[in-house]
Amino acid sequence: MHPADQIRCASSEKLKGRRIVLGITGSIAAVESVRLCRELIRHGAAVHVVLSKDAAKVVHPYAMEFASGNPVITEIDGGVQHVALCGDVPDRADLLLIAPTTANTISKMACGIDDTTVTTFATTAIGAGIPVVVVPAMHGSMINHGIVTANIRKLRESGVVVLEPKMEESKAKMPDIDRILSAVLSRIGKGDLRGKKVLVIAGSTEEPFDDIRVITNRSSGETGIELAKAAAERSADVELWLGRIEAPVPTYMRTRRFTSAESLGKMIREADEWDIVLFPAAVSDYSPERVDGKVSSQEDSLSMTLRRNPKLIDEVRAKVLVGFKAGSRVKDSELVSEAVALMERAGCSFVVANDIRDVTPGKTRVIVVERDGSSQKVVGTKADVADEVLDRASKG
């Protein structure tokens, strides 16, 4: 067994059975290609690597053969590898991913020039209708060149996905591997949310009781972030609204911020209708009467008046609305009853309920409750739960 097979599907089976051609061109960012290749394999993909001559000066073919578990293509010979993998033939690859992609390669692709191994694969793949994802990496002055910019636009107009680079230190750097993986999944994953506008509202609110202090809760926002990532991987147009969170947010995600229940309510009331709204946010049920200034820390005791906040999920406009209900130390039957009550009040399509005792590092347990009171238990990581929830939401 090749070492690459030992890590296959270690992270997920989202790319299981998929064949990806990874084209690498002569950018210094090619040093990241081993990590990228291995990550694709961890999600189940079979990866075939194509190196340009300049790329082979940055990363050795042996390194990529180790990373992929397959022979590396450095030239086109009698095996017509570009046709065998990316032509109009049976058992062809599912996707051509070119990462990193130089300005030279981008411009040649846009003009239909194929004088390197990678550009020959690109011309063949585009002509055969195979999805192509391009990940630019170059100096900032190069990507800002008007002709390069026009060629990027030309590629996009032809159906090629060109990712936005990460602009740092006057360079157009490759985005994070998570971003590249999301783009790959969006092109060859389930795709069942393509054309859908999806909103995820995550995190907790902070309710101020003086100019410095707030009341909040323990929600980390991780569930909402996993839902947003999973929706993007299914080709949805995703927006993520965030309150106070503890989990990392993907840099590629389109986000908006709220603080209190009041600020979130304003955002909801001003928003248009969405195709799907997922509402795992932990909105405070009560807010304190605010004190001007700062309450003295010398007081021996402190009392405050709490006022009830409106149930903001009731004001959401969506074709599919998914509610979330958290409990503590309650029976499953009680969770189901509370979920049904939430559906009846807010008009949810279904509700995801859980007891906070069932949330442990790396694992959770939820109950998906339907409008008729039937339910299904789901156990796994929060990413697993996100996929199950979106399977249900995609059906309307």
pLDDT of residue 201: 98
Spell out the domains of the chain, with CATH numbers in brackets: 3-188 (3.40.50.1950), 197-393 (3.40.50.10300)
pLDDT of residue 297: 86
pLDDT of residue 168: 94
pTM beyond cutoff 0.75: yes
Alpha helices, H only, the chain: 3-7, 33-42, 61-68, 81-86, 103-111, 117-128, 140-143, 146-157, 177-188, 222-233, 261-270, 332-346, 382-393
Q: What is the pLDDT of residues 94-153, one digit of tens each?
A: 999 999 999 999 999 999 999 999 999 999 999 999 999 999 999 999 999 999 999 999
Q: What is the pLDDT of residues 44-79, one digit of tens each?
A: 999 999 999 999 999 999 999 999 999 999 999 999
User: CA 261 to CA 265: how far, in whole Å?
Assistant: 6
User: CA 276 to CA 153: how far, in whole Å?
Assistant: 30
